[in-house]
Amino acid sequence: MNNELSTLHDGTYGRVRDTVLTAKNKVYAAVNFAMVEAYWEIGKEIAESIGDRAEYGKGLIKYLSERLSAEFGKGFDESTLRKMRKFYTLFPIRDSLSPELSWTHYRMLIRIENAERRDYYANESIECGWTVRQLERQINSFYYDRLIATQESGKESVKNEIYTTEPQNAPSYLLKDPYILEFLDLKENRDYHELELEQELIDKLQDFLLELGKGFSFVARQKRHYPLL
């Protein structure tokens, strides 16, 4: 293939690739926001049904968890239902929900008790396009507090540090987010290399032997066996 033809092919490939990636992003965004809205609605229904009746709420959440898990599988344990209720409580205006933020973003945001901090991190995540990992790093590194304490001349450098510590790389498989998989009732298709699979199996075996207690021993992770002569 001559250079001119190769350049033409590369150009076509680039445009086709961009189309595929754009479509994938649109599908992810649509599914993601549908999930966020659904969990907000669930949280609203639970919050309004419970009201101020704390004891009734415990029983209702347990009941809903059992019924929903039986019908829809993972993703509706009691802890997650309580998070949905808190999500609605902290973000009571449906129109304020952002399609740029995933359920994982919101799960992190509802951990922040201070409303001003929470709103700041939410707005920055939207405006700066922070990934969940970037948001988590900013929260854990007290980004909001450091920015307030920084003089005006140094604020830009504090704002830009995230892009060196946590580069914004597009994920290869957007729909492998575990919450998306649970929402769509899909099984995660993870490929294990031999050593990874061995590690998983040995870890499970080791935990099992430790639970059995006295009289059992874990000899080694790998022990070669030689044929008897």
**CA-to-CA distance for 46 and 78, rounded, in angstroms?**
12
pLDDT reading at 195 higher than 60: no
- 3 state SS of 110: coil
pLDDT in tens, 76-127: 999 999 999 999 999 999 999 999 999 999 999 999 999 999 999 999 999 9
Q: What number is the average pLDDT over the span 155-170?
A: 60
pTM value?
0.68
143 inside domain = yes
pLDDT reading at 227 higher than 60: no
Q: In this predicted model, which residue has the larger pLDDT, 78 or 159?
A: 78
> For residue 82, what pLDDT is reported?
96
pLDDT reading at 221 higher than 60: no
CA dist 33 to 29, 101, 121, 126, Å?
6, 8, 19, 14
> For residue 24, what pLDDT is reported?
77
CA dist 98 to 105, 159, 204, Å?
10, 22, 40
**CA-to-CA distance for 222 and 52, rounded, in angstroms?**
57
pLDDT reading at 193 higher than 80: no
168 inside domain = yes
Average pLDDT, the chain: 78
80 inside domain = yes
Confidence of residue 207 (pLDDT cuts 50, 70, 90): low
11 inside domain = yes
216 inside domain = no
210 inside domain = no
> For residue 199, what pLDDT is reported?
57
In degrees, rounded to 5, the angle at the alpha carbon of residue 16 between the alpha carbons of residues 132 and 185 is 45
Confidence of residue 177 (pLDDT cuts 50, 70, 90): low
**CA-to-CA distance for 73 and 57, rounded, in angstroms?**
22
pLDDT reading at 7 higher than 70: yes
Q: What number is the average pLDDT over the span 156-162?
A: 63
Q: Which range of residues forms the domain containing residue 97? A: 3-188
pLDDT in tens, 15-41: 888 888 888 778 778 888 999 999 999
201 inside domain = no
> For residue 228, what pLDDT is reported?
45
187: left (phi over 0), alpha (psi -120 to 50) or beta: beta
- 3 state SS of 77: coil
Q: Which residues contact 162 (CB under 8 A, 6 or more apart)?
A: 128, 130, 134, 137, 138, 143
Determine what percent of the chain is predicted with pLDDT higher than 70.
Answer: 65
Q: In this predicted model, which residue has the larger pLDDT, 111 or 177?
A: 111
Q: In this predicted model, which residue has the larger pLDDT, 21 or 161?
A: 21
- The phi, psi pair for 227, rounded to 5°, reads -65, 145
Overall domain count for the chain: 1
